[in-house]
Structure 1
Amino acid sequence: MKLLLAQNASYYPALGGANKSNRTLMEALSRLGHECRVVSTALVNSASEQDQRGVGEIEVISSSPEVSVFNLKGVAIHAVKVRAAMDSARLKDYLIRQMKEFAPDRILISTEDVGHVLLEAAVKSAPSRVVYLARTTLYLPFGPDCFLEAPDKTELLRKAAAIVVVGDYLKDYMWQWAKLKAEVLPISLFGDGPFPDFGNFDKGYVAMVNPCAYKGISIFLELARSFPELSFAAIPTWGTTSEDMKALMELKNVRIFDPVDDMNKLFCQTRVMLVPSLWAEAKSRTIVEAMLRGIPVLASDVGGNPEAKLGVEYVLPVNPINGYKQAVDERSLPVSDIPEQHIQPWQEALRRLLSVREHYEDVSRRSREAALDYVENRGGSRRVEAFLLNLQVEAENTQQSDLVPAVKENTVAQMTDKLTPAQKALLALRLNKKNQSRGNDQ
């Protein structure tokens, strides 16, 4: 298949969980033999744009004032140069051109699409090819956890061929607030391992990625003040503001690290991971990544965090964010009033973990076992591939007047010629089942 992913965010480096998950997914599908292309953003003269140069694994194809094109692990990335993070008009125009030029079999639109302009362009062009990857509740156009309700944008989602979500929390949210059906698939991949065991009772940081209002920086700061004898680590990414940075730098026991693409460089120095999110996380990637490496995680009881914890303590109470103002901060992110938090449950959990060796090592072991079992037994990229192949078969057997460009009679043959033997066998099996079903209905 020819697969096109579009997101209003940087593809490389990927500093947010959703963007990193998109990248690992595309790389995995490329390894399965599919032709993968990405349309993403690159801020002009930003660090991310510079990082796309001079890196050994990146093959630069071309660069112009409009876009940088490079290959990374079998995926062709078209990084559209924008002047601001929310400059979506240029990105939309480029996506429209790529849909015509590349003629993808599937168009994957990520939730990281402010204003849903990429979704709108894709649905207008070829709705039966659009798969919406729902990863972030904030950017959905409906429900209590979104920034801005937009019924017309919700209707765009009804026209997509499928909606895929990272977990049951988001699946239930889709149905409860918009009556949209969604498929839970392993679209957040964690690599093939092996995953080193970094659990260490004796040393390391109490760490937090992306300390900001949404993610619960208020809890992180209060814990750092409560335990001056402990070393804390903060890794600022997309949500951290200048005010957040100032608060972090005022504490002597907090060390600030630059964000890294290889999370092992962080995890090898981490004793406990904090994920005190106050917004409704769809399903925190950081939780599973840390648990895979035997690092105990203290996570908030909001959104999909309990699901990500896989039944292992600690899931701790917070007063969650309740709605957003019609304003944005210096990072062009929605502003919200942050409720006062009760820090005592967090203090007690951290104190127990770091004062009782047997307890720490037990939680470390069970965290690692649960995460390894989760990763190994959910189907991975093969399951996503099967879903996309089945959608393609259904699209080829459905008469769509609004499919642009129109499906040609030989499209299936052209597509199957590029499949591996295993992929052809899967396709044949699904076609056989479909034909048998039709025979039973007649």
Structure 2
Amino acid sequence: MKSMPAAPSSARLNATSCAAPAEARNPRLLWANAFCLLDTSSGASISVREMLRQLAARGWEIEILGATIFDDEEGVSQLRPHWDSINNSDLTLVNVADGLLRHRLVRTASTKRAHMTSSEEVAWLVQYIHLLDTMKPDLVWFYGGQTLDLLIPYEARIRGIPSAAYLANGNYRGVRWCHDVDLVITDSDATARFYAEREGFGAVPVGKFIDPDRFVSKDRNPEYITFVNPSLTKGAAIVAMLALSLEKRRPDIRFEVVQSRGDWAAVVRQVSAHFGGERESLDNVMVTSNTSDMRPVYARAKILLAPSLWWESAGRVLVEAMLNGIPVIITDHGGGPEMIGDAGIKVKLPQKCYEKPYAHVPSPETLKPLLASIEQLFDDDEAYRVLVERAYRVGRELHSLEASTNRLLSAFEPLVGRRSGDCDHARSLEQSHKHGLSRSVGATG
């Protein structure tokens, strides 16, 4: 990461100081968000979970409050052995052990955030306030800009507890969502610059958090062009066009599509119909179900294809590819170029491709340079070897898990150093309330 922009000016709001604790203790952090961090279909959830694992390994006390909300139903794969018992339980709150971490999940009737009911949101908020008042965290961390999310930093602030937000996409508009937030954390310099220029607030880039033990394959047999998450935003229509173009002409070049939030069959139908004959599958494409263990996938990957069309803040699959020595082909857009350095090929697409709903199908002529690059990497062993060596180097030099963790610790230290968990939260609540509540009432929140 090249820069560490200043935290938003709201960081000055929580300047309350507390007396030093009688005994030295480790920092306490509460992660609070309706989405489940065990979601294997959400790159943000996977990233935050790893960040929390690293903090826990450094001795931090971590509490996680979520709900049974996932980006996609495929994302429940990690909870699949317990899913029936969770759904059939009468409990409002379920606890899931996760190594150094523990997840408190408010049980919801639907896995979709849009279907979370008001009573479920209230149940989540009650749990959140309970943890604020009993755990007494030094820092609250979250992501999201929906109405419930706005209460997360607010409830922390009126207790004198600082908060941080994780921002790893280009979808946030305006600044109301971070009104009560002390610090915005992001994963790339590109996204920090993006929001500084568009919205005027600073964000601190800390990089991606990839544990090599969980994502690096030890035995590689590269043979496929790998594409993860076949959604239109990720460039699925572009990938389908490439596969369709190579299906008969180069049957030796095969693709592996890993399902996540997208629907590959629907994309194939759309693209093939555009060229005269609707189909649901292609002979040169193997479709793999969503998985919590990507190592076998990366073992088979010769090239990672990631032609994202929306603002891709950093793209964790790009970093995972670098650590595995896999060359990458990406669009020259968002934080992707920053993640791969010189270890891949960057392509430019017509501006219309980057516009919602990302369904524009470029002409075959437009994709000729991209097809030529793919064929070269399959036919020219020396050119491929050079990119493999570069990928390993970029992985070592730019994406060290220890370096990313140190950047995160440096960003958090000014906030957790206040030891706000040792403050008199009841006093802060009393002072912040417009009606001047008594200490006994204020302590309940």
TM-score (normalised: structure 1): 0.75
Specify the alignment match of 2:33 in structure 1: 7
Is 1:155 equivalent to 2:176 in the alignment?
A: yes
Specify the alignment match of 1:132 in structure 2: 165
Higher relative contact order (CA 8 A, sep 6+): 2
Specify the alignment match of 2:79 in structure 1: 52
AA aligned to 2:203 is: A
Structure 1 runs not aligned, ≥5 long: 143-150, 325-335, 408-442
Specify the alignment match of 2:414 in structure 1: 390
C-alpha distance in 1, partners of 2:382/2:431? 64
AA aligned to 1:52 is: L
Structure 2 runs not aligned, ≥5 long: 1-26, 271-278, 433-445
Q: Is the 8 A contact 1:199 1:294 kept in 2?
A: no
Structure 1 residue 264, shift from structure 2 partner = 0.6
- SS at structure 1 position matched to 2:226: strand
Specify the alignment match of 1:122 in structure 2: 152
Structure 1 residue 285, shift from structure 2 partner = 0.7
Is 1:226 equivalent to 2:245 in the alignment?
A: yes
Q: Is the 8 A contact 1:42 1:48 kept in 2?
A: no
Aligned positions of 1:240-259 closer than 5 A: 240=263, 243-244=266-267, 249-259=280-290
Is 1:236 equivalent to 2:259 in the alignment?
A: yes
Is 1:260 equivalent to 2:266 in the alignment?
A: no
Q: 2:204 aligns with which of 183, 187, 192?
A: 183
Structure 1 residue 155, shift from structure 2 partner = 2.5
Q: Which moved more, 1:298-307 or 1:31-40?
A: 31-40
Q: 1:275 to 1:389 in 2, by over 3 A?
A: same
Specify the alignment match of 1:425 in structure 2: none
- SS at structure 1 position matched to 2:96: strand
Q: Is the 8 A contact 1:92 1:121 kept in 2?
A: no
Aligned positions of 1:393-432 closer than 5 A: 393-394=417-418, 396=420, 404=429
Per-residue CA distance 1:277-335 (angstroms, 9 max, x = gap): 111101111011012111111011111111111233311112355554xxxxxxxxxxx
- SS at structure 1 position matched to 2:399: helix
AA aligned to 1:86 is: A
Q: Is the 8 A contact 2:32 2:152 kept in 1?
A: no
Overall identity of the aligned pairs, in %: 17
Q: Which moved more, 1:371-380 or 1:286-295?
A: 371-380
AA aligned to 1:370 is: V
Q: 1:232 to 1:267 in 2, by over 3 A?
A: same
Q: Which moved more, 1:236-245 or 1:211-220?
A: 236-245
Q: Is the 8 A contact 1:198 1:295 kept in 2?
A: no
Query: How many residues are treated as equivalent by the alignment?
Result: 373
Per-residue CA distance 1:85-136 (angstroms, 9 max, x = gap): 32344246414422433332211112xx362522x11122013521011012
Specify the alignment match of 2:314 in structure 1: 283
- SS at structure 1 position matched to 2:256: strand
Is 1:272 equivalent to 2:303 in the alignment?
A: yes
Q: Is the 8 A contact 1:260 1:266 kept in 2?
A: no
- SS at structure 1 position matched to 2:333: coil
- SS at structure 2 position matched to 1:52: helix
C-alpha distance in 1, partners of 2:107/2:350? 39
C-alpha distance in 2, partners of 1:243/1:382? 43
C-alpha distance in 1, partners of 2:318/2:46? 14
- SS at structure 2 position matched to 1:238: coil
Q: 1:99 to 1:245 in 2, by over 3 A?
A: farther
TM-score (normalised: structure 2): 0.75
C-alpha distance in 2, partners of 1:69/1:302? 40
Structure 1 residue 227, shift from structure 2 partner = 1.6
C-alpha distance in 2, partners of 1:242/1:249? 5
C-alpha distance in 2, partners of 1:35/1:358? 49
Specify the alignment match of 2:328 in structure 1: 297
C-alpha distance in 2, partners of 1:402/1:217? 54
Specify the alignment match of 2:236 in structure 1: 217
Specify the alignment match of 1:107 in structure 2: 140
C-alpha distance in 2, partners of 1:192/1:8? 28
